[in-house]
Structure 1
């Protein structure tokens, strides 16, 4: 293909040969120029929209301004710090609950075995507190990761405490610390020397007596197994229950027995009814506690119970 060009001033004739390849090159160059110009205009339009009309920028390209980005990050940082404060409060409350639980455990544990509360093995190591409310200028994602890590540690701590508390509860429930008789009753005789009601002489009273009407429920003072359920001249109808850590409880002068030898019983379970069998002057429950084969004052095991 040939194009003839005639100059107006000189009437000079110029011939330009255009091949298909050359024409293709020209079209490609022009197309590339148009693309660059279009991209530049598009980018410039975004810059203008971002600066002067962010709503249009979001509508066109889904972008946000730096100011909006900072505002969003500030909002999330405030929420993160609020969460960290709450985690700090939770940690404090867990510590208070642990202290309160230790006090209750101390009260509920029989005196002869209070030393077991501290026999849980050696403990130690450096003090590395968990900072649940760090106000840093670090990156939001880094602070978020740190908070998530602290949260996981807190959850693990709570899970360990829950397991420990469940174990302590199971341990306490098997100790003879519950009231061995239902309803509100009075003590007619304490543990120790007293005037024997039959001989009128000073003699050791090996337990405590609860005054109650015949038929009043007698309850197991803790989880255990029945190792005696029969009768004799002194105790009348009597039950003995073996508990953990060397404790045995004895319930005497019953009118009726509801358990049998070898039976597992639970804390607070009905095992007998108050009566006046055996060496007795009237309806009452005679309650004894033995620790490692020796009689002890039952008041050492009954949690905060005082004579009435």
Structure 2
């Protein structure tokens, strides 16, 4: 039989029976049970830590530390891979495109490794899958970096060649633009001496005898000699298939085999060879085929000056 409990009511000056709310009663029981369970759980954890040997606790800490560092390494590998991907994209779409080099195929950049047992020696560890995954990612990233490094080495070579090529291609007028006017352009015309219709392979710049003549691009003097047709004439080999010719000179300032830079003085305007007046006959050849020299003055002409020069060359008469 359950005991009945009373309390003293000061208002009525009498004892009253204590009644218990069943919902509160059951709630107290539930909290008591939960408390016992939690105490037992944490007690077990603490006890298990107590009963672990020092070496086991050290191994546990080492394992957690190793796992943490693997996670950090994985994130760094992912960041490095993203950076490399951006570099690969710029390499193919900007660098190699600019230097007219073929892009590296995606399958070459991300080719896998042969052999199904490549990472067999990493089996048998507590974290073999994690170790194998990171090792494979490192191997793939390393290979992609090797491919990219070789590509950048190639780009450096191409850049040096491009720089040399841009400096070598004829790109300026052989006479200062204030010292001449155009007598004839690149076209068919009647030769003033031979009196035959003949294609004029260059441009004639009328200028006083003794007007300085300059190399239009870097190169090597191939010939510096006298010719029955061109009189005193200079040939410059610029490389990359380009050759320029400077004819009817009064005097030559260079010798065969000499290296010259764009803008170097090489001779003076004259009236030697088959020529009717003092002028410079100038030609540009690519792979032994003559080209219109007017397309190679972009280094020191504005658009308006180019248009005026082009118009004059189409209306003029040859002097040689």
Change (3 A) 1:80 1:290: closer
Which residue in 2 is equivalent to 1:69? 66
Within 5 A, what are the aligned runs for 1:39-78?
A: 44-45=53-54, 63-64=61-62, 66=64, 68-78=65-75
1:142 is aligned, of 125, 129, 136, to 136
Within 5 A, what are the aligned runs for 1:150-169?
A: 150-163=144-157, 166=160
* Counterpart check, 1:90 vs 2:90: no
Mapped partners of 2:192, 2:50: distance in 1 = 113
Once the two structures are TM-superposed, the CA of residue 44 in structure 1 deviates from its matched residue by 3.0
Change (3 A) 1:76 1:228: same
Name structure 2 gaps, 5 residues minimum.
Answer: 1-48, 112-128, 310-320
Which residue in 1 is equivalent to 2:109? 130
State the TM-score, normalizing by the size of structure 2.
Answer: 0.53
Mapped partners of 2:201, 2:69: distance in 1 = 75
Change (3 A) 1:87 1:293: closer
Measured against aligned partners, the alpha-carbon deviations of 1:176-218 in whole angstroms (never above 9, x if no partner) come to: 5343526556872321134778999976433113467854441
Once the two structures are TM-superposed, the CA of residue 144 in structure 1 deviates from its matched residue by 1.5
Equivalent pair of 1:255/1:274 in contact (CA under 8 Å): yes
* Counterpart check, 1:181 vs 2:174: yes
Which residue in 2 is equivalent to 1:229? 225
Equivalent pair of 1:248/1:291 in contact (CA under 8 Å): yes
Mapped partners of 2:57, 2:239: distance in 1 = 81
Moved more, 214-223 or 159-168: 159-168
Mapped partners of 2:281, 2:193: distance in 1 = 16
State the TM-score, normalizing by the size of structure 1.
Answer: 0.54
Name structure 1 gaps, 5 residues minimum.
Answer: 1-39, 52-62, 104-122
Mapped partners of 1:91, 1:292: distance in 2 = 35
Which residue in 1 is equivalent to 2:45? none
Mapped partners of 1:294, 1:174: distance in 2 = 21
Moved more, 221-230 or 143-152: 221-230
Equivalent pair of 2:251/2:270 in contact (CA under 8 Å): no
Equivalent pair of 1:175/1:223 in contact (CA under 8 Å): yes
Mapped partners of 2:205, 2:52: distance in 1 = 94
Once the two structures are TM-superposed, the CA of residue 221 in structure 1 deviates from its matched residue by 3.6
1:241 is aligned, of 231, 236, 244, to 236
Number of aligned residue pairs: 230
Once the two structures are TM-superposed, the CA of residue 131 in structure 1 deviates from its matched residue by 4.0
Equivalent pair of 2:212/2:267 in contact (CA under 8 Å): yes
Within 5 A, what are the aligned runs for 1:108-119?
A: none
Measured against aligned partners, the alpha-carbon deviations of 1:102-151 in whole angstroms (never above 9, x if no partner) come to: 29xxxxxxxxxxxxxxxxxxx9x99614249xxx9762232122211211
Mapped partners of 2:134, 2:250: distance in 1 = 74
CA RMSD of aligned residues (A): 4.7
Measured against aligned partners, the alpha-carbon deviations of 1:209-261 in whole angstroms (never above 9, x if no partner) come to: 346785444115452342233366x645321235658764320243431112x
